Amino acid sequence: MSLLVHYAQMVVFVGVCLGIGLITIVGRERIQTFYSEYDIRLRDGLPHLGFLALVFVLSMYWRPIGGEVSWTVGIRITHTLYGIEGNLVATIQQIATTELTWALSILYVFGYVFLLVFPLVAYLFLDSLRLFRVTVLAYVINYVIGLLSYTAFVAYGPRNYMPTEVGGLMYDVWPQIEALTTQINVNTNVFPSLHTSLAVTAALLAWYSRTEYPQWFYLATVLAVSIAFSTMYLGLHWGVDVVAGTVLAVVSVWVAFQIAAETSDESVITRSGRRVFAAVKQARP
Amino acid sequence: MRDSHDSGVGSVRRRALLTAAATGAAGLAGCLRQFRSTRQQRSPEQLSLEIHTLAGDYDARATEIGRTLSDNLSAVGVDTELVLLPEDELRRETLISQEYDLFVSRHPDIRDPDFLRPLLHSSFASEIGWQNPFNFTDFTVDELVVQQKEETGIERRGTVAELQHELARQQPFVPIAVPDHISTTRSTRFGDWQRVQLQSPLSLLQLEARGDESEQLRLVTTDDRITRNLNPLAVEYRSKGTITQLLYDSLGRRYDGKIRPWAASDWEFEQTGTGPVATVTLDPSLQWHNGESLTADDVAFTIEFLQDTSLGAFDVPVPAPQFRGRTSLIDTVDTVDDEVLEIHFAETTPEIAVRSMTLPIVPRAEWEEKINAPEVAGIELSETLTEALVWNNDEPIGSGPFVFDSREEGQELHLKRYDDHFLTRKDGRSEELATAFPNGVPFERISLTSVRSDSVAVQLLKDDEADSVLPNLDSSTVPSIGREQEIELHVNPSQSLYLVGCNTSREPLGNPHFRRVIARLLDKESLVSNVFGGFATPAASPLSTTTWLAPEFEWNGTDPELPFFGTEGELDVEAARQELREIGFSYSSDDELLEQ
């Protein structure tokens, strides 16, 4: 029951933010242009979203298997992570206040989803869909490397390593949200921080769209930095996870630019999508 | 002349050569000998030890004890690694495969000193579970743990005191503290929680329903293992078996302070020359959840099965580890008819023997098929385990007051009342049962929700989404429970013991002097105030807080046998290093403690 409420809250929050973003950041002109050729843009854009969804679905099947593989052969690195940075997270938590915890918790859960979804929408309104394709590929690369790393390394976050010094602040002020986060997170999946890597990825890509969406570049940067900070502040990730997440983001964006097709016609994913659409159209004349 | 001269010179030279060759040979041989001995005496490296403990999400107290030990061992020059695990993995690595150096864990039941027998007797060293996980072998301790089970009264008390001395001296494991059992309840739907001992499943049945909406008891837990596996024999998944005890009956149950007949309508003990014999009469109306009747044959089967789950098929018996202490008290079982059986005990007293009445009873028809080695992808694993010990038991069939309804792995478990159970039917119950459970089973369903942290569990009670927490909360939740009007706080001494186990089959943990140093690296007093928030009693003896505690080991602010090196949790590193040197350890020039 409460889980459904959280999903509803999420949809409303992200929906409202997207709406505001479309009006203020994307602007009326681009929306009008999009409107005139939305069928082509959607036809060429949707296949990539489908690909992203496919990766997510496959990962759902992989997660429980990966968990067992991880306990069987994974390398246990929690102690090493602590050895590298010591009490960094405990020190960060000394600035904690209830207000800040609330702000960063909402950012961590809802702001994060907005930061990742907005580019997927906004880049459909650009003249070329290349940045859109790069975004999808970069997300997929982040996610796949992240999951492989979770399988290879067993690592608990600071909250689990030093429960007295580091509190699970989010669950203290907002226990209800636990129902949502346990759906998604396993407590041994901390190295690297995927929250950080995906947020930084979105911010790096925002730099490439700074001419078209200058405000978005600033907003995305602020959001990404705050989210990276929140993962430590909330006791969920080590500083090392955040650094590793940032490196992963840089690598993913670079690789995505290398492999993303220059034009829609050259993109394998788009071409496969077009064929599917054509086949569907033929099937129901 | 010349010749002779020549030959003279020649002979001198030859002699010199021979001498040189001989010395050379001797030198080479010596060299080789030296090489051989130095090769065997490889240069000592820094001593490294791993500490296995639970991650903070599962038990923050165990995490912190492990971390304190890890920090202090590092301070005295040991290369230490703290390994965090979830409960089932920790048990796999310590209690089953015994691949560890040191571990921090919680022994579930210290009420009767007989728990020390399977825990420490050398004959249990090869077994899994809480059967000598330390691989400890000691003559004196073996004798004492056996002796105490054959004695009564003042004699047993004397033996148990002597045993405590021996354990304090040798420290096969380091007892840390007996935690308080902290729980919270909500009285809107059920009342009389004060009377209920929240640690016992049966006492839940003594609750009083308030109003018509009380058909479901809603429990919340931070331990999701019961939603993953319902096998009462699975050692990684069971702690106290609170839920499985509601699914499976036993001949007797402990209620109102004593083990009393439960599924048995009565029993009688008779002392013979070889040990006590109990004649047990079953309640004739007992039925399994599938409608088949439960007979003396099922009980006899269960006892033999728990003693060896391979039923003699393997070379080495595979007993059910959870119940090893109790099954090891029994010699043989004979059925007289469908309702009567005779249990012949090994040499012990009825006072101790009665503990085996609490073994769960399982249906022969189902469990008889679980005697083979478990298979993974069609390959039979080793003959050290049987399927009975590892299978999930997804749809348990017992005879207990509750029937399994549904579960969602990692999330929820639902049970419903078994209407044919003697408690619910209410007819033909003994007077004892009728007095203790006047309402029969006061609710129709039990739901158990698993959440990740204690604060979430408490929140569910505040929001009226749960009635009680199972099994135990961290002391950090106490203030937030206290602030809330709607929910009550319960604090009672628990029956469990936090301990640091030492794998005595690995060096240098086989050395009792070294184990004593480990004990002195932990300030139990400061752990109790900092990690347990004061909600625990420091333990110098494993029987601390029981009536069996020898008076010399009463806690008086410090450990009477092995006081901490330092004060108020601050380690006096030099004192500890000095002690290590005195017991024969050395340090490298970088202050690293070297292997011996």
Q: Could you report the per-residue pLDDT of B64-108, keeping only the tens digit for each?
A: 999 999 999 999 999 999 999 988 889 888 988 889 999 999 998
Q: Quick one: pLDDT at residue B155?
A: 93
Instruction: Please report which helix (H) or strand (E) contains residue A157, including its range.
Output: none
Token duo for residue A153: 């390394």
Measure in Å the smallest separation between the Cα of A187 and chain B Cα atoms: 8
Q: Which of B64, B84, B453 minimises the CB distance to A164?
A: B64
Residue B394: how many other CB atoms lie within 10 Å: 10
Report the alpha-carbon distance of residue B63 to residue B47 in Å, rounded.
22
Cβ atoms B411, B227 nearer than 8 A: yes
Token duo for residue B332: 């043989």
Q: Quick one: pLDDT at residue B3?
A: 44
Q: Do A163 and B60 touch (CB under 8 A)?
A: yes
Domain ranges of chain B: 1-42, 48-179+495-582, 189-238+400-485, 249-391
In order of A166, A175, A233, B536, the CA distances from B453 in angstroms are: 14, 9, 18, 20
Report the alpha-carbon distance of residue B559 to residue B574 in Å, rounded.
20
Task: Tell me the CATH class for B48-179+495-582.
Answer: alpha beta
pLDDT digits (tens, 9 = 90+) for B128-154: 889 999 999 999 999 999 999 899 889
pLDDT digits (tens, 9 = 90+) for B481-526: 888 888 889 888 888 999 999 999 998 999 999 999 999 999 999 9
B471 preceded by a cis bond (ω within 30 of 0): yes
* Architecture in CATH for domain B249-391: Alpha-Beta Complex (3.90)
Q: Which of B56, B70, B451 minimises the CB distance to A178?
A: B451
Q: Do B452 and A178 touch (CB under 8 A)?
A: yes
Q: Which of B67, B455, B459 minimises the CB distance to A162?
A: B67
Measure in Å the smallest separation between the Cα of B56 and chain A Cα atoms: 4
The yes-or-no verdict on residue B203 having pLDDT over 70 is: yes
Residue B278 neighbours by CB under 8 Å, 6+ apart = B267, B268, B269, B270, B342, B343, B345, B350, B353, B357
pLDDT in tens, chain A (285 residues): 467 888 898 899 999 999 999 999 988 888 888 888 888 888 888 889 999 999 999 988 888 888 888 888 899 999 999 999 999 999 999 998 989 999 999 999 999 999 999 999 999 998 888 999 999 999 999 999 999 999 999 999 998 999 888 888 888 788 777 777 766 677 888 889 999 999 999 999 999 999 999 999 999 999 999 999 999 999 999 999 999 999 999 999 999 999 988 887 788 888 888 888 888 888 776
B50 touches chain A (CB under 8 A): no
User: Mean pLDDT in chain B?
Assistant: 87
Q: Look at residues B188, B129, B447 and name the one whose alpha carbon lies nearest to residue B309.
A: B129
Total count of domains within chain A: 1
User: Quick one: DSSP state of residue B314?
Assistant: S
Token duo for residue B319: 């007993």
Query: Is the complex ipTM higher than 0.90?
Result: no
Token duo for residue A23: 């009006």
Token duo for residue B536: 């625990």
User: Quick one: DSSP state of residue B360?
Assistant: B
The CATH number of the structural domain formed by B189-238+400-485 is 3.40.190.10
Report the alpha-carbon distance of residue B197 to residue A143 in Å, rounded.
48
Range of the domain at A266: 2-283
Taking one residue from A and the other from B, the number of pairs with CB-CB distance under 8 angstroms is 66
Report the alpha-carbon distance of residue B587 to residue B78 in Å, rounded.
10
A175 touches chain B (CB under 8 A): yes
Q: Which of residues 212-231 of A touch B (CB under 8 A)?
A: none
B405 touches chain A (CB under 8 A): no
Residues in chain A: 285
Q: Quick one: pLDDT at residue B257?
A: 79
Residue A75: how many other CB atoms lie within 10 Å: 11
User: Quick one: DSSP state of residue A95?
Assistant: G
Token duo for residue B188: 């809107």
Q: Look at residues B553, B564, B561, B501 and name the one whose alpha carbon lies nearest to residue B528.
A: B564
pLDDT digits (tens, 9 = 90+) for B459-476: 889 888 898 888 678 888
Report the alpha-carbon distance of residue B417 to residue B81 in Å, rounded.
48
Amino acid (1-letter code) at residue B11: S
